[in-house]
Amino acid sequence: MDPNRFAYAFSVRLHDTDAAGRLFFGHLFRHAHDAYEAFMAQVGLPLERLIREGEILLPLVHAEADYHRPLCQGDRVEVVLAIDEIRTRSFAVAYRFEMPDGTLAATAKTVHLQINRDGSPASGLSDAIREAILPYLHEDRPQ
């Protein structure tokens, strides 16, 4: 198993679905964010600590998703997360939502910008963030 692979599992719950019985589109981002929170905790940067301390703030500035097959109540899903890109002040996270048999159900991407306490963009990503996420920057990132 790749030590620099991060995966997060969940089951689609009834309250996740829309009137057609499919995962409501907005809930895909909730599950992506749950995976992101678990990832940040694993790399030593738990979001609750970052928010409480207020020195490193990483608001979401872009989100996109593509749906490849329906996700229904009871489906088990694994979210495979990788760092898609690291820029001067931001980084992109790629998410691949897979069924137990490996079938691709959805992909998503979020971009997080480091800002200062006053809301202005930071001059650059902190060394702590860059060092923590760099091992997860994959050429074969989930797309």
Catalytic residue among 2, 16, 18, 84: 18
Residue 94 and residue 143 in contact, taking contact as beta carbons nearer than 8 Å: yes
What residues are paired with 107 via a beta bridge?
Answer: 66, 96
Q: Write out the two tokens for 131.
A: 């060092």
Q: Which amino acid is at 29?
A: F
Separation CA 100–CA 41 (nearest Å): 24
* Measured distance CA(37)–CA(18) in Å, rounded: 25
Do residues 103 and 70 touch, judged by C-beta distance below 8 A?
no
**127 part of the active site:** no
The single-letter DSSP state of residue 52 is: H
51, two tokens: 């928010």
Residues with catalytic roles: 18
